[in-house]
Amino acid sequence: MKIAVTGCNGLVGRRVVICALAQGHVVLGIDYTPATKDQPSCADYTFVQADLRDFDGALRVLAGCDGVVHLAAYRDPTDYLVKSHNA
């Protein structure tokens, strides 16, 4: 199964990616921030830097995925209600 993990550079996202790979899934890691040094380096993992607030861009990135683990979020939003709602 091909699984997209949004927020793959975050504390939880990194662990979900590792767990999904260990279970034999193909993983597409998506994050707004650039790739980190500790990204998995295997044939079953691909990283894409993308802004998921762009609807058409998000559809392009997620095409072909069988499931999504959505973990992308604002770590410390200054205005939680407005930023979280708009995101």
Q: Counting runs of H as helices and runs of E as strands, what totals does the chain give?
A: 3, 4
Domains and CATH numbers, the chain: 2-86 (3.40.50.720)
Tokens 């550079």, located at residue: 9
Choose among 17, 22, 55, 54: nearest CA to 36: 17
Q: Are 4 and 62 in contact (CB under 8 A)?
A: yes
Mean pLDDT of 78-87: 61
Q: What is the CA radius of gyration of the chain?
A: 13
Amino acid at 83: K
Is it the case that residue 77 has pLDDT exceeding 70? no
Q: pTM of the full predicted structure?
A: 0.86
Q: Are 14 and 31 in contact (CB under 8 A)?
A: no
pLDDT given at position 38? 86
